[in-house]
Amino acid sequence: MADLLQDKGESFMNAKDIMSRELITLPPDADISEAARLLSESRISGAPVVDAEGRLLGVVSQTDLTRFQGQGGPAAGASVASVMTNKPVCCEEDTPTEEVARVMLERRIHRLLVTRGGRLVGIVSAMDILRSLVANLGHEGA
């Protein structure tokens, strides 16, 4: 797999090479019904939670929202901060793509948040990994 993730055999691609930079984020005080609507409308399974300065506070996923409601949590008025994962798994921009994929597999997560100096700069999803793999497979045949 490492060979497939190499950029023409010269160097590994890094998280910054495949991450999404246009991010949909939520503030910690957002209502969970608002968060559920945003995830659904945006067709995403989770979103980072950031403060006004862009510092990463956590991540909220459809699983978090479903688990909260399944436990009988009050849907009305509950905030994203009350259901989010407080210590999301992150990587730096220069983390090799192979390491990003390994961490996602080991942790059984669908996204890895990318930071620079504690600030969110991107997100790598399982789909980003697959797109990278398919693009490199195309180079192999060339």
- DSSP letters along 58-71, please? EEEEHHHHHHHHHT
Query: With bands split at pLDDT 50, 70 and 90, how would you rate the model's confidence at 72?
Result: low
Structure token digits, residue 104: 């996602």
CATH code where residue 42 lies = 3.10.580.10
Distance separating alpha carbons of residues 121 and 138, to the nearest angstrom: 28
Cα 24 to its chain centre, rounded Å, is 10
Task: Name the residue with higher pLDDT: 13 or 106.
Answer: 106
Give the total number of structural domains in the chain: 1
Helix (H, G, I), strand (E, B) or coil at 112: strand
88-124 pLDDT per residue, tens: 899 999 999 999 999 999 999 888 999 988 789 999 9
What's the confidence (pLDDT) of residue 137?
77
Q: Is the pLDDT of residue 20 over 80?
A: yes
Q: Would you give the end-to-end CA distance of the chain in angstroms?
A: 18
| 39: enclosing H helix or E strand | helix 32-42
Task: Name the residue with higher pLDDT: 4 or 26.
Answer: 26
For residue 43, is it within any domain?
yes
- pTM surpassing 0.85? no
The answer to whether 85 touches 58, Cβ cutoff 8 Å, is yes
For residue 1, is it within any domain?
no
The answer to whether 57 touches 90, Cβ cutoff 8 Å, is no
Q: Domain of residue 88: give its range.
A: 6-140
For residue 65, is it within any domain?
yes
Mean pLDDT of the chain: 84
- Segment 72-87 shows an average pLDDT of 79
Rg (CA), the chain: 17
For residue 100, is it within any domain?
yes
What's the confidence (pLDDT) of residue 50?
92
